[in-house]
Structure 1
Amino acid sequence: MQQPNLLSKFRGSVLGGLVGDCCGEPYEGQVLTDGDKAILRRSLNQLEGPYFKAPAKKYTDDSAMTRSVIRCLIEHKDINTKELATSFVKEHAAEPNRGYGGAVVEVFRKLLKNKFTDIVGPAQEQFLGRGSYGNGAAMRVSPIGLFCYNKPEKLVELVKKSAEITHSHSLGINGAVLQAAAVNICVQKDPKTFFHDEFLSELIPKMQELEKESEVPGIKASGPNFTQQLKEVKTLLDSPNPLSEDEVLNALGHDVTAIYSVPTAIFIFLRAQGPIEGIQSENPFRRTLEYAISLGGDTDTIASMACSLTGALHGDSLIPENLLKHCEAHGEFIELANKLYESSI
């Protein structure tokens, strides 16, 4: 396996996110039985095999909003919050049946009502003023990790600007930073010398520093933070015994909250760099995709985030060409990845 060039890594991450979204969507919210997993395996094998004409696998709000982020970065070489918010609202208005959650639709309604004069206010009003701690900001943020490959000092600033349009809770924002930072590290790594210990040893201190900054003096958080979840990821990966899916899900979760999905996606990505019992593939991308979906839960978003990481590490050469062809708008996303790369350098 050769070290992929930078353009290949950009394409791998963008297209990996699209494939994970499109292939994960039909299984969202499910608990997959052994029979379901066998059907999933046959379906992925068929999609990877000789190309056949079939209706394209549709992308969800994950990819729709990711596309808006990419376009904003290409046009402005920055996150222009008003332009990005406008793009989100226009995308939803044009195609509202992409799986948008009710909370974000309410944010869009308020942005239209105030004519984009207050970009962050509607998000701050969510959930009795606490803000959303869902994974909606994290699911669309991988392009920022790519864009900042040579300017990592800008990453947190750009992620926060992109997140605050819909998420004001620290867990929602920090989850987005975690996903972007993970992509940013992957872009810079050689897959031939990649080890999860080294990866986590870079990522954990970044989150420790970030979470220390967002602590409220005198108030102790009621649940785990991302640093603790990443340490749990390391514990699971270092386990000498085979891990059951229940052990993984009990430790990390797989729901729509950022704290119980972003670390899960990172674990899946790291676990899939080696063989996984029951997944008969030597391709790390295929292992990532199948394993992410097989765990159930918020499959489209978790698979999208995990596959974006694998794509950022290995490049687009590992994404089966015929599988990609079955995904809606794949040609457009290839062009966007190319333009994002050009804008970034």
Structure 2
Amino acid sequence: MVLDQRRGLALDALTGLSVGDAFGNQAFPSQWVVRSPGHADSWAWTDDTQMACSLLEIVDTHGRVDQDALARAFAMRADPFRDYGMGALQFIDHVKHGGRWREITPQLFEGKGSWGNGGAMRVAPLGAYFYDDLQRAAAEAAASSQVTHAHPEGVAGGIAVGVAAAHAAAHRGRPLSGADLIAVALDHTPESMVRDGLRRALDLLDRPTTQVAVELGNGSRISAPDTVPFALWTIATHLHDYEAAIRTCVEAGGDMDTMAAIVGGTIAAHQGPEPIPTEWLAAREPLPEWLPL
């Protein structure tokens, strides 16, 4: 029964993540929009959803984040046209040709490791899966992030979103305030620029989107500190309105598909898929057939 609950919450989060990702992708200028060769008339999703599907597959198969299996899944499932970043493409090529993720990940970005938002963009379904144990959600989110992000900021971003999604899912059908959601994520996030941004987000809950995007960042730097605080602010201020939350990500500009993936996945973990506009869900490219759920 608990396993069914985990799977149901995780799949709801994945649905919200993938629709947000696809909507955000469509908001870019036409020459930058990802298009799926197999579903030309659908809203294509990007690497955010593809990696989230691989992560959920591994967690459901192993009951945890098996890091070696996850690295292989990321490499073997990747479609390069999904708009993977340069670091991710290097990782994929290395692992695909027999290399070990522990060798390549620390070498990325001149030996500093990635502090990008990739760990955060894919983790909401994992958080929902471990809805009943925030410590476990934080640990599994860290393990997922470490496979591709050796920089502590990249890991901190994954932890913050993973815990937020777990807490959101744990309160399905129960009252939850946006301030509480950020505060719980803050409590589990290690000291970092991401954590500093979450502190600032708590002080900006009554401010307009444009001001907050300037204060916290809008993902345009493709970094966890530039993405996660604004994403959690958007969730906190639109926790009960999926459509408004996703449109807020687009209004802010920046990395719109990733921001909308984080926001959509976490809100759907709390609310379920019902608030997602039916026309958006119908327009979204189908999820991969290999996904076990």
Query: What TM-score, normalized to structure 2?
Result: 0.87
Does residue 119 of structure 1 match 2:101? yes
Distance 1:88 1:331, change over 3 A: closer
Whether the aligned pair in 1 keeps the contact of 2:9 and 2:129 (CA below 8 Å) is no
Letter matched to residue 257 of structure 2: D
1:164-185 deviations in Å (ceiling 9; x for gaps): 2211000001100111010011
Work out whether residues 12 and 316 of structure 1, in 8 Å CA contact, stay in contact via their aligned partners in 2. Answer: yes
2:118 paired with 1:136 = yes
Matched, 1:61 2:21: no
CA contact (8 A) 2:26 2:43 kept: no
Higher relative contact order (CA 8 A, sep 6+): 1
Partner AA of 1:14 in structure 2:
L
Contact 2:169/2:269 (<8 A) preserved:
yes
Asked whether the equivalents of residues 163 and 185 of structure 2 are also in contact (C-alpha less than 8 Å), the reply is yes
Q: What secondary structure, in the 3-state scheme, does the structure 2 residue paired with 1:317 have?
A: coil
Aligned identity (percent) is 23
* Equivalent residue number for residue 34 of structure 1: none
2:256 is aligned to 299
Partner of 1:87: 73
Given residue 169 of structure 1, which amino acid in structure 2 is its aligned partner?
Answer: H
Could you tell me which residue of structure 2 aligns to residue 106 of structure 1?
90
Q: Tell me the equivalent position of 1:17.
A: 17
Aligned mates of 2:271, 2:120 — CA distance in 1: 21
User: CA RMSD, aligned part only?
Assistant: 2.4
| 3-state SS of 2:225 partner | coil
Aligned match of 2:34: none
Contact 1:29 1:297 survives alignment (8 Å): no
Distance 1:89 1:331 in 2: 15
Measured in 1, the distance between the counterparts of 2:136 and 2:213 equals: 33
Give structure 1 stretches of 5+ with no counterpart: 31-52, 212-223, 274-282, 340-345
Q: Any idea what the Cα deviations from partners look like across 1:5-47, whole Å, max 9, x if unmatched?
A: 87764343111100111010133489xxxxxxxxxxxxxxxxx
Unmatched runs of 5 consecutive residues or more in structure 2:
31-38
Q: 250-259 or 189-198, which moves further after superposition?
A: 189-198
Count how many residue pairs are aligned between Structure 1 and Structure 2. Answer: 279
The residue number in structure 1 matching 2:61 is 75
- Do structure 1's residue 228 and structure 2's residue 174 form an aligned pair? no
User: Residue in 1 aligned with 2:228?
Assistant: 262
* Per-residue deviation, 1:204: 1.9
Structure 1 residue 331, shift from structure 2 partner? 8.2
Q: Which segment drifts farther, 318-327 or 198-207?
A: 198-207
Tell me, what secondary structure is at the counterpart of 1:261?
helix
**Structure with max Cα Rg:** 1
Q: Is this contact kept in 2: 1:68–1:87, CA < 8 A?
A: yes
1:10 partner SS: helix
| 8 A Cα contact 1:11 1:315, kept in partner | no
CA drift at 1:330: 4.5
TM-score (normalizing by structure 1): 0.75
Do structure 1's residue 250 and structure 2's residue 214 form an aligned pair?
yes
> CA contact under 8 A between 1:111 and 1:119: conserved in structure 2?
yes
The residue identity in structure 2 corresponding to 1:81 is Q
* Separation of aligned partners in 1, 2:152 and 2:198: 17
3-state SS in 2 of match to 1:137: helix
